[in-house]
Structure 1
């Protein structure tokens, strides 16, 4: 488990994250166990990160972060309630923006992965990323010669961190359409015959055992029982077989795709 060794500053966001340097020498955006979304948001973040890594999606490294006792005094002086137990840290992407221009999006070397991101969000029932907000998106665009899109702030997978075994099982056959300004910005780079087919195939190719394995060592303090994780893995296994039908409902937003009989 990584140790937070230096507090840097607070960051903007609903979950009230903080920037810290950790024992591996890297900076992390840390969500505390006391964050306003609830402690299970940390489990959602880690599950999403590990699944994304299996699919080679652009998500920053996620780590369990322990806040060293020497930092607790700093937090108290700053007026923050740390909360007990382990926290979640996402590797900090420097020189980036969460409010990219259309030109910055279009120049990303991995812009084609937008199809994978949309498909992944549908698979994980993410009700948050498709929006466009004046104060920042659930993506980052790193700036430089090899600029790219990064997926961040994934606490709202499973339709939010307050999911239950019953709600995720109900979601297996329930279609929820997620479409909005951010996804619409991706259309010119994805439009064509079957834009989501390869992304769906990659998810369907994952062994069922992997879906359970990635949850095996989540901290118990994050409030998700083993039985709940087994149910969640089963629901994810089932949901992926509905992706083709669900994403077909987006065809109306893609002019070239729509024109193909």
Structure 2
């Protein structure tokens, strides 16, 4: 069920030339249009990858299908796209909307933090979980995030945005590379000490109910992928198969020239405890056998 766009506010930065719009539910959305300069499938990618990240418990904006009418486009000078030497009106119909982080009320949203502030981000460990999603969905772009704090708060929280290049953008092919889909700054990964650091997100992704994944794909408007059901079905089938490769893909990043996990322990504490359990009370008093 789509929400209706009621007002165009301004054009946003970025290659997709999104527009900030107010919708009938009272929320502002960053709206990507079908005829954006990147690819129509980035709308499908945004919706599916954002909902997958949400399903495993990561901080992503609320996402909606937004209907933009021809009347609104004709009566809003802002709703156009720059396509090199030409300009084109935004196409009416169903678009992808990502709810604006922080809303329109006063607050503070930034897309860059200095090292000392970045290290203090409340949910910094969620970068580990988002790496799971980016590797699983083959995000061919760098990981994007914005940071928000309310007035009087000292620490920011990260929200993960811009999933349009998951599934290798418009190609819907899984072309993996160690440095794809990762955040530009290693600091966010310093807290990784082993596989336990990726929990609970890793297990949730690996064990996510296939029906949940199919239900996410089913809400994607057919016009966002050309109406060929076989193509989106093939994409989801391969996505389901790839769950068994998430650890392998993270390992390739771990072994890359970035060396992103300097604190990775070869053997986790949990594994040591299982291998060498604490002696029971009886063992401590039994003494040697003579």
TM-score (norm. length: structure 1): 0.85
1:237 equivalent in alignment to 2:246: no
Q: 1:93 aligns with which of 87, 90, 101?
A: 101
Q: 1:196 aligns with which of 191, 195, 198?
A: 198
Equivalenced residue count is 245
Structure 1 CA distance, aligned partners of 2:127 and 2:26?
A: 31
Misfit runs of 4+, over 6 Å? none
Q: Is the 8 A contact 1:118 1:183 kept in 2?
A: no
Higher helix residue share: 1
Question: Pairwise mapping of residues 1-261 of structure 1 onto structure 2 (< 5 A)?
Answer: 1-76=2-77, 79-80=80-81, 81-94=89-102, 95-130=108-143, 138-144=144-150, 145=153, 147-163=156-172, 167-168=173-174, 171=175, 175-178=176-179, 182-188=184-190, 190-194=191-195, 195-196=197-198, 198-224=200-226, 225-252=228-255, 253=259, 254-257=261-264, 260=267
Q: Is the 8 A contact 1:75 1:82 kept in 2?
A: no
The gaps in structure 1 that reach 5 residues or longer are 131-137
The gaps in structure 2 that reach 5 residues or longer are 82-88, 103-107, 269-290
Q: Secondary structure at the match of 1:38?
A: coil
Structure 1 CA distance, aligned partners of 2:30 and 2:193?
A: 37
Superposed CA RMSD? 2.2
Structure 2 CA distance, aligned partners of 1:78 and 1:90?
A: 17
Structure 2 CA distance, aligned partners of 1:181 and 1:70?
A: 40
Cα deviation for residue 76 of structure 1 reads 4.9
Deviations along 1:116-175, one digit per CA (max 9) or x if unpaired, are 011110001002124xxxxxxx21011232631111111100111232xxx34xx5xxx4
TM-score (norm. length: structure 2): 0.77
Q: Secondary structure at the match of 1:257?
A: coil
Cα deviation for residue 107 of structure 1 reads 2.2
Q: Is the 8 A contact 2:129 2:199 kept in 1?
A: no
Cα deviation for residue 197 of structure 1 reads 5.3
Q: Is the 8 A contact 1:104 1:141 kept in 2?
A: no
